[in-house]
């Protein structure tokens, strides 16, 4: 799946910053791919990029109309259909990360046939995958893994890619979630792949490459989360990672959404992931730790990272506040 750029980010009438995660991710990490943002009356949030309507975006060459919002249940409200149809009339493909499929709406399908525009439901892979083989692939791979879900694995992956490119590495970011796919322009929504094919899909995402090439593979879930560990394990085995970066968030007392659960330590997370990863790469190693320190001051965050770095003899940083150059330096 490949997404044509530039993008027009449609955020509708959103009133919650978290609800425009798709749009914000693209605006934060790939502003060069975004021609503008389009909102309607009632919207109180923004990605911070230039505002424009569909016609203005078309003049500026927009190729994809991104449904950059999310809601409970991933529902596509029919009130957005006129905007989607207008975008196709203006030469734009439609890109959605919602659970509702664009192809389930007859009006959208009919217009797409008339205009020859693509309908891209990036949460629903169309490719056919095979089971994983575990056969060693050429090239190098780094996978981000976490103490929990939503601890910054995508932002860490993108920060690593940015640092590596700056330092002259041959590197690609491999997206495994809908936000990452939008940012990268391609990828596989791994949590929508049938479980038998998880590792095989990951192998296809990161194929053979030159000896010095690095793939930075976006992690999903956590091996310690009862709901998502299956996806995390398939991704871990298919990645065959040479390197792991542990991602952590401060001040969590339990796994996300499971108040009865126990939150794992960084030490336990390292041990668990190394043990599982060795099935397909016996030489895997942990090369760094990232921490989301946004809940504390910059000074306190730096103190916590320094403490973890000393405890585990690994570089530790907040990818947004500090960047990840210190981790990348271990890969040279």
Q: In which band, very low, low, confident or very high, does the pLDDT at 243 lie, cut at 50, 70 and 90? A: very high
Which tokens belong to 48? 């911070």
CA distance 170 to 193: 28
Q: Is the sign of the CA dihedral 182, 188, 191, 193 positive or negative?
A: positive
Indicate the domain borders of the chain: 7-121, 140-331
Asked if residues 241 and 208 have their Cβ atoms less than 8 Å apart, the reply is no
63 and 34 Cβ atoms separated by less than 8 Å:
no
Nearest to 152 by CA among 75, 102, 222, 49: 222
Instruction: Give Cα 13 distance to the centre of its chain.
Output: 24
> CB within 8 A of 279, min separation 6: which ones?
134, 237
Residue 7: which pLDDT band, with cuts at 50, 70 and 90?
very high
Q: Which two three-digit tokens encode residue 217?
A: 């593979």
Whether the upstream peptide bond of residue 6 has omega within 30° of 0, thus cis, is yes
pLDDT at 40: 97
CATH class held by domain 7-121:
alpha beta
Number of other residues whose CB lies within 10 A of the CB of residue 127: 11
pTM for the model stands at 0.86
Is the model more confident about 192 or about 54? Answer: 54
Cβ 279 vs Cβ 237: under 8 Å:
yes
Report how far residue 189's alpha carbon sits from residue 201's, in angstroms, rounded to the nearest whole number: 10
**Does residue 71 have a pLDDT over 80?**
no
Q: Quick one: what percent of the chain has pLDDT higher than 70?
A: 99
Question: What's the mean pLDDT when you consider all of the chain?
Answer: 95
Q: Work out the average pLDDT over 268-287.
A: 98
Beta strand extents in the chain (DSSP E only): 7-12, 34-39, 64-67, 93-96, 119-121, 140-146, 171-174, 214-217, 243-249, 285-292, 316-317
What would the mean pLDDT of 5-15 be, rounded to a whole number? 96
Question: How far is 205 from 186, CA to CA, in rounded Å?
Answer: 10
Q: How far is CA 16 from CA 34, 43, 123, 258, in A?
A: 21, 9, 22, 23
How many whole angstroms separate alpha carbon 214 and alpha carbon 141?
5
Q: State the pLDDT at residue 101.
A: 94
Rounded mean pLDDT of 159-172? Answer: 97
List the structure tokens of 189: 């929504």
Residue 209: exposure state from Cβ atoms within 10 A (0-12, 13-18, ≥19): middle
Strands ordered across the beta sheet of 93-96 = 34-39, 7-12, 64-67, 93-96, 119-121
Give the three-class secondary structure for 130.
Answer: coil
Report which of 223, 114, 209 is spatially closest to residue 171, judged by C-alpha positions.
Answer: 209
Which has more pLDDT, 62 or 152?
Answer: 62
Quote the pLDDT of residue 216: 98
Judged by average pLDDT, the poorest of 134-138, 252-256, 281-285 is 252-256
Binned at pLDDT 50, 70 and 90, residue 2 comes out as: confident
User: Which DSSP state fits 242?
Assistant: S
Residues 6+ apart with CB under 8 A from 306: 316
DSSP, collapsed to helix, strand or coil, labels residue 296 as coil
Predicted local distance difference test score (pLDDT) of residue 79: 96
CATH architecture of the region 140-331: 3-Layer(aba) Sandwich (3.40)
Name the band, by pLDDT with cuts 50, 70 and 90, for residue 124. confident
Comparing 77-91, 107-121, 156-170, 176-190, which segment has the lowest mean pLDDT? 176-190
Query: Distance between CA 310 and CA 232 in Å, rounded?
Result: 28
The band of 192, judged by pLDDT with boundaries at 50, 70 and 90, is confident
Give yes or no for residue 21 having a pLDDT over 90.
no
Distances, alpha carbon 38 to alpha carbons 64, 136, 177, 307, in Å: 12, 45, 23, 44
Domain 7-121 matches domain 140-331 at the CATH topology level: yes
Q: Does position 1 have pLDDT exceeding 70, yes or no? A: no
Residue 63, pLDDT > 70, answer yes
For residue 151, is pLDDT > 80? yes
Using CA atoms, how far apart are residues 9 and 329, in angstroms rounded to an integer?
35
**Percentage of residues of the chain with pLDDT beyond 90:** 85
- Model confidence at 18, pLDDT cuts 50, 70, 90, reads confident
Q: What is the dihedral of CA 229, 215, 20, 319, to 10 degrees?
A: 90
């Amino acid at each position: 799946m490949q997404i044509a750029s530039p993008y027009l980010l449609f955020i509708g009438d959103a009133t919650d910053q978290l609800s425009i995660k798709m749009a914000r991710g693209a605006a934060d990490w790939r502003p060069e791919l975004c021609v503008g943002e389009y909102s309607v009356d009632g919207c109180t949030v923004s990605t911070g990029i230039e505002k424009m309507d569909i016609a203005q975006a078309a003049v500026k060459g927009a190729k994809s109309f991104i449904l950059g919002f999310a809601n409970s249940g991933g529902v596509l409200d029919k009130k957005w259909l006129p905007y989607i149809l207008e975008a196709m009339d203006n030469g734009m493909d439609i890109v959605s990360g919602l659970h509702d499929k664009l192809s389930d709406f007859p009006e959208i399908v009919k217009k797409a046939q008339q205009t020859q525009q693509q309908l891209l439901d990036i949460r629903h892979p169309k490719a056919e995958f095979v089971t994983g083989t575990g056969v060693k692939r050429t090239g190098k791979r780094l996978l981000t893994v976490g103490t929990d879900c939503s601890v910054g694995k995508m932002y860490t992956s993108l920060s690593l890619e940015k640092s590596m490119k700056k330092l002259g590495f041959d590197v690609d970011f491999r997206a495994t979630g809908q936000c990452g796919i939008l940012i990268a322009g391609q990828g596989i929504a791994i949590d929508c792949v049938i479980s038998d094919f998880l590792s095989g899909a990951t192998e296809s995402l990161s194929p053979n490459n030159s000896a010095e090439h690095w793939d930075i593979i976006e992690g999903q879930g956590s091996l310690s989360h009862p709901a998502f560990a299956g996806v995390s394990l398939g991704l871990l085995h298919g990645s065959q990672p040479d390197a792991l970066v542990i991602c952590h968030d401060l001040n969590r007392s339990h796994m996300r959404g499971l108040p009865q659960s126990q939150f794992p330590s960084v030490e336990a997370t390292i041990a668990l992931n190394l043990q599982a990863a060795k099935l397909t790469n016996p030489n895997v190693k942990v090369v760094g730790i990232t921490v989301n320190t946004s809940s504390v001051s910059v000074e306190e965050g730096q103190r916590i990272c320094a403490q973890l770095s000393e405890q585990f003899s690994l570089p530790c940083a907040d990818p947004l506040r500090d960047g990840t150059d210190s981790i990348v330096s271990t890969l040279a």
